[in-house]
Structure 1
Amino acid sequence: MTLLVSIPLSSPLGQRIAFVQHLMSMAVVEAVRTLPGYEDIELKVKWPNDIYYSNLMKLGGVLVNSTLMGKTFHILIGCGFNVANSNPTICINDLICEHNKRYNGRLPALRVDTLIGRSVTALERLIHVFQKEGPDGVLPSYYKYWVHSGQQIRLGGEDGPLAWIVGVDDSGFLQILQEGKDVVTVHPDGNSFDMIRNLIIPKHS
């Protein structure tokens, strides 16, 4: 699906526009996991814009294109998530089926139109909360659903220094902690397919 959202530049979200991709990923996860009975379906968010089954495989993603016209961001949000196609990896209804087998449950499979509607409604709510409370209004829920809690990474590549992901900053970028050092913000290197594997610490002049 593709959504068009307008965000005033002067608003809290307009000042932190990178958060839009995080909010959309969250909205898809919440569309499933806020349904009664579906709370434990292992749908999660991976920074910056992926939807995952646990920390194992991707089943959706978000692409955001923003254009500033005057004092308003006009944002095209492209979002795809696999609801019912078991190939080439896994789908949301597979997760529900596995959950039913494991816990002897009878949760029905979900429909594409239902999840699109619930995702759009969740995004509207998350934008409203962000505009009212800023990052603090949404980050507790984001951390509840993300895959990175306590995750170890190598900065800059496989031979880089070891660090731990500790959260995101007020602009939506990852924060990491290197042993014996302070928490710093990191960015993707701009060239790699797997953003988490090749993070860099930006140089400040």
Structure 2
Amino acid sequence: MHIIKLSAIDSTNTYLKTLCAEMPVDDYTVVITENQTKGRGQMGSVWNSQSSKNLIFSVFKSLSCFEIQYPFYISMVASLAVVKALEGFDIPKLNVKWPNDILSENKKVCGILIENAIKQGRYASSIIGMGLNVNQTEFENLPKASSLKLITGKTFDLEELAHRIIKQLQTYFELLRQSKLEVLKEEYESYLFRKNKPSTFKNAEGFMFSGIIKSVSDTGMLQVALEDNLIKEFDLKTITLLY
């Protein structure tokens, strides 16, 4: 495992993508920064972090030995790696808010941004960016955000957290390499936030409706039971789960 430590960078994902374009990069090369000035989340959202308080890193994963038919399983792998690592630190009530936000006690503690590269029609590699709220204790105007320190009262070692997450990434990517898709999907869904509970959603037009999350598809669509137990699939751009 090759680790590149930076004091400040605009985005660890961007840095790692640029590095990959310039030279061969070893599997599980990690870029960690103390301060990320232009962090990005799903759907182009901005992710802000206090310097040196949180774990901000990206991992390069070669997919040359994989048969990736459904790229959403990479998201499952990343989500499970974080959850399992945090369980090892006794972080309570962990869930995955679809598609890959990590919650503890219903508050967001980690965001994941995955960018896949395709070469000659195959998934060649993946860059997995993670922003984990660790020792930060103030989140102005972010009522749904929290941190490991706020939740537990403890201060955490960022490097130890990173190593634990990367170790779990290696474990779950091995399952993916072996095409253990059912195992991954079952475990991912066991952590799915508000699964089998009546929930409120908002669609792209702003219309609110009720439904019950049942599962996710192989392609990453959220499968929701509506009235009369009709199951409808939604992708990330068309639905928002309201707490």
Does structure 1 residue 64 correspond to structure 2 residue 109? no
Give the share of equivalent positions with the same residue, in percent.
Answer: 20
SS at 1:23's partner residue? helix
Aligned partner of 2:180 among 107, 110, 134? 134
Q: Distance in 2 between matches of 1:94 and 1:21?
A: 26
Distance 1:54 1:126 in 2: 24
TM-score, L = length of structure 2: 0.64
- How far has the Cα of 1:155 moved from its partner? 5.4
Report the CA distance between 1:152 and its aligned residue.
1.6
Whole-Å Cα distance in 1 between the matches of residues 66 and 165 of structure 2?
26
Match of 1:162 in 2: 210
1:3 paired with 2:48, answer: no
Q: How far did 1:130 drift?
A: 2.5
CA spacing shift, 1:151–1:158, aligned 2, 3 Å:
farther
1:21 aligns with 2:71: no
2:102 to 51, 61, 70: 51
Flag structure 2 segments of 5+ consecutive residues without an equivalent.
1-56, 140-144
- SS state of the match for residue 211, structure 2? strand
Supply the distance in 2 between the matched residues of 1:151 and 1:23 (Cα, whole angstroms): 27
On the 8 A contact 2:62/2:126 being kept in 1, the answer is yes
Aligned residues: 178
Task: Quote the residue 2:124 is aligned against.
Answer: 73
Aligned equivalents of 1:196, 1:9: Cα separation in 2: 35
Which letter does structure 2 place at the counterpart of 1:175?
Answer: Q
Distance 1:141 1:34 in 2: 16
Question: Offset at 1:141?
Answer: 2.5
Q: Match for residue 94 of structure 1?
A: 150
Per-residue deviation at 1:65?
A: 1.1
How far did residue 44 of structure 1 move? Answer: 2.3
Superposed displacement of residue 16, structure 1: 1.0
Rate the CA distance shift 1:80–1:151 in 2: closer, same or farther, 3 A.
farther
Task: State the secondary structure of the residue aligned to 1:136.
Answer: helix
The code of the aligned residue for 1:195 comes to T
Q: Which is bigger in relative contact order (C-alpha 8 A, separation at least 6)?
A: 1
| Structure 1 contact 22–47 (Cα < 8 Å) conserved | no
Secondary structure, aligned partner of 1:30: helix
SS class of match (2:99): coil
Aligned to 2:38: none
Instruction: Tell me the secondary structure at the aligned position of residue 180 of structure 1.
Output: helix
* CA distance, structure 2, for counterparts of residue 153 and residue 73 of structure 1: 38
Name structure 1 gaps, 5 residues minimum.
Answer: 98-107, 198-205
Report the RMSD for the aligned CA atoms in angstroms. Answer: 2.4
Asked if the contact 2:189–2:216 (Cα under 8 Å) also holds between the matched residues in 1, the reply is no
- The 3-state SS of whatever aligns with 2:225 is strand
- Residue 161 of structure 2 corresponds to residue 115 of structure 1: yes
State the secondary structure of the residue aligned to 1:51. strand
TM-score (normalizing by structure 1): 0.75
Distance of 1:9 and 1:133 partners within structure 2: 11
Shift of 1:196: 2.6
Q: 1:124 aligns with which of 170, 191, 196?
A: 170
Secondary structure of the residue aligned to 1:138 is helix
Q: Specify the SS of the correspondent of 2:215.
A: strand
In structure 1, what is the Cα distance between the partners aligned to 2:224 and 2:64?
30
One-letter code aligned to 2:74: V
